[in-house]
Amino acid sequence: MSTSENWEVCVYCNERLATQREHVIPRSIFFPPRPSNLITVPSCQPCNSDKQRYDDFLRDFLSIDDFTNQHAGSLNLFLGPTGRAIDRNRSRLAKKVLEEGIVVEVRSPDGELLDWRYALEIEPCDLEPFFRYVAKGLSFDQYGIRLPKDAVIDVSHVPPEPFTAIIKGMAESGGAKGPVRLGGDTCVFMSLLVHEYHAVWAISFFLDRWFAIGVSHPDGDHASDQLLLDRNSDAQKHTPHIE
């Protein structure tokens, strides 16, 4: 079946008819005036609503993440939509921090106690549902591929050095696509399609927080994306720390 014949079927569930275009990289992380090249894909209402929860989680994560929170874009999110969600008690991430976070002391360089605040470690699995949607949306938009429901999608946080190595490895392999920039450095991504259902995506937000997504067919082998990730041994799952 060709992509065009399937246009009206939701890219995310591959079952229900699409009734709208959905922003794969959430519109809410871009500060107005929003860029004109944001990526949208056909989506049904249930998938759109479900993804929205994870979109909000990512937005709030980028607002308070230790890696990104020095960026002007991140601050804009915190002072804008994230702050409003927290005020209305609608931020799932803020609730998680309050419920599961630990109180840490903030001290000056010479040891003076300045303040306390909540801190929480976010695991890759907390953001995995979001990236499952993103992998499906970007695969469709960039390659016209509809990922099957049981596609294996692995998400890793990647520290800066390995991320650079992954990007370099992708570029050197010759077949990589990108980098695609959305809203300057708000979101930058690159991809390497090994074959249908077998791809590696590198995505950064504010150039301060990086993720690698490996997509493979449940019946296929994981060898080639593993190769890329293993190129630098530091590209292990890395647990970020947010405060």
Could you give the count of Cα atoms lying within 13 Å of 193 in the half-sphere of its Cβ? 14
Site string for Zn ion, 39-78 (x = CB under 5 A): -----x--x-------------------------------
Q: Which is nearer to Zn ion, 16 or 237 (CB)?
A: 16
Q: Is 79 exposed, middle or buried (0-12, 13-18, 19+ CB in 10 A)?
A: exposed
| Size, binding site for Zn ion by CB under 5 A | 6
**13 is an interface residue for Zn ion by CB under 5 A:** yes
Structure tokens at 222: 């994981």
Single out the residue of 10, 25, 85, 166 in contact with Zn ion (rule: CB under 5 A): 10
Separation CA 94–CA 117 (nearest Å)? 13
Q: CA-CA distances (angstroms) from residue 227 to 78, 116, 131, 194, 230?
A: 37, 43, 21, 12, 5
Residue 9 CB, nearest approach to Zn ion (Å):
8
Shorter beta-carbon distance to Zn ion: residue 44 or 229: 44
130 CB-side CA count, 13 A: 22
Structure-block tokens of residue 126 = 């907390």
Task: Write out the binding residues for Zn ion, residues 108-167 only, by CB under 5 A.
Answer: none
Yes or no: say if 231 and 111 are a contact pair by the CB < 8 Å rule. no
Give 137 or 169: the residue with its C-beta nearer to Zn ion: 137
Contacts of 90 (CB under 8 A, 6+ apart): 56
Stretch that binds Zn ion, among 6-14, 20-28, 89-97, 183-191 (CB under 5 A): 6-14
Closest approach, Cβ 19 to Zn ion, in A, equals 9
**Of the two residues 19 and 76, which places its CB atom closer to Zn ion in the complex?**
19
Is the CB of 10 or the CB of 147 nearer to Zn ion? 10
Q: Which is nearer to Zn ion, 10 or 77 (CB)?
A: 10
Tell whether residue 207 is a contact of Zn ion (CB under 5 A).
no
- Which residues are near Zn ion by CB under 5 A? 10, 12-13, 16, 44, 47
